[in-house]
Amino acid sequence: MSAETARAGTVAATVVAATTPGSKLARRAGLAGKKLSSPWASLAAIIIAVVWTTPTVGLLVTSFRPEADIRTDGWWNVLAHPTFTLDNYQQAMFGNQTNFVGYFVNSLVITLPAVVIPISIALLAAYAFAWIDFRGRSLLFVAVFALQIVPIQVTLIPLLSQYVDWGIAGSFWTVWLSHTMFALPLAIFLLHNFMKDIPPALIEAARVDGAGHVQIFFRVLLPLLVPAIASFAIFQFLWVWNDLLVALTFAGGRPNVAPLTVRIAEMVGSRGSDWYLLSAGAFISMVVPVIVFLSLQRYFVRGLLAGSVKG
């Protein structure tokens, strides 16, 4: 999940939001009628679905097979001699050389602050851009918006030497700070768009009642923004949890900080044929993002729906 897809994803969601309300869908469903009557169409859809899922299923099955079986034949033979075990997971999680539990903790410790911090900073900035008038506001906003084009690669070497100068190299702070800074342009841009959609009358009414910026921010805006915040939080969570480049640059080779992605990428290089470890390790790293994605997928779209209806 990249910043680009996050931005476009929000556009897609707003398109959905704009079209779904009412009984339109039900009517359309009736209209559809013929759609999949062609067996060729069904076949094509099934082929794509199978091709897309088989690789994952293969590795998942493998992760539960005994090490010896994995070495002797392919996972598609599993029904010929079905033996399953949790040894691979046990070994991957607690084994001296792999210790995925430790890296799992690192991933968690990296991700949560790297989601909370940029969203808070971006909320404040987006509020100022949307509801406080000052000279040079649009210029500054365009500048922030334009910073979205800066590829992370351009910033890595100077940042690294800066962190070394400050004496924080190799600590969690480098990763937190970097993810925060990289997320800000998109976060400010998206949250600003949502804030702009809130009717000015609401803000005015609060202002007349004597509410200051802080009260307006917390009492009026924040509750309305929950869906928008949640949707960005999901994107940011997946992005940070799945990131390799930032973590490798700032925490590579440091078992006390490096997240799962770094460790797995390392193991593919050093123990590339130990599939009993790699398969289990890969799924240990995937389980959290997949759960987040599956459980919040609905909430995500519904939240955006609510946001656009209110706006």
**Counting contacts by CB under 8 A, is residue 164 touching other proteins?**
no
Query: What is the C-alpha separation between 198 and 179, in angstroms, rounded?
Result: 28
At its nearest, how many Å lie between other proteins and the CB of residue 171? 4
Q: What's the 3-state SS for 221-266?
A: HHHHHHHHHHHHHHHHHHHHHHCCHHHHHHHCCCCCCCCHHHHHHH
61 binds other proteins per the rule CB under 8 A: no
Q: Is 139 in the site for other proteins (CB under 8 A)?
A: no
Per-residue contact string for residues 197-236; x = within reach of other proteins by CB under 8 A = ---------------xxxx-x-------------------
Helix-strand-coil split of the chain, %, nearest 5: 80, 0, 20
User: How many angstroms separate the CA atoms of 127 and 188, rounded?
Assistant: 9
Contact between 280 and other proteins by CB under 8 A: the answer reads no
Taking CB under 8 A as the rule, which mask of x and - marks residues 19-58 in contact with other proteins? xx---xx-xxx-xx-xxx-x--xx-xx--xx--xxxxx-x
CA dist 161 and 28 (Å) reads 58
Interface with other proteins (CB under 8 A), residue total: 130
**In the numeric block, which tokens belong to residue 113?**
């602050």
The only residue of 66, 67, 85, 173 in contact with other proteins, by rule CB under 8 A: 173
CA distance 168 to 166: 6
> Which residues from 75-114 bind other proteins, rule CB under 8 A?
75-76, 102, 105-106, 108-109, 112-113
| Identity of the residue, 36 or 309, whose beta carbon is nearer to other proteins in the bound complex | 36
Listed residue (153, 128, 144) closest to 221, CA to CA: 128
Binding to other proteins by residue 72, rule CB under 8 A?
A: yes
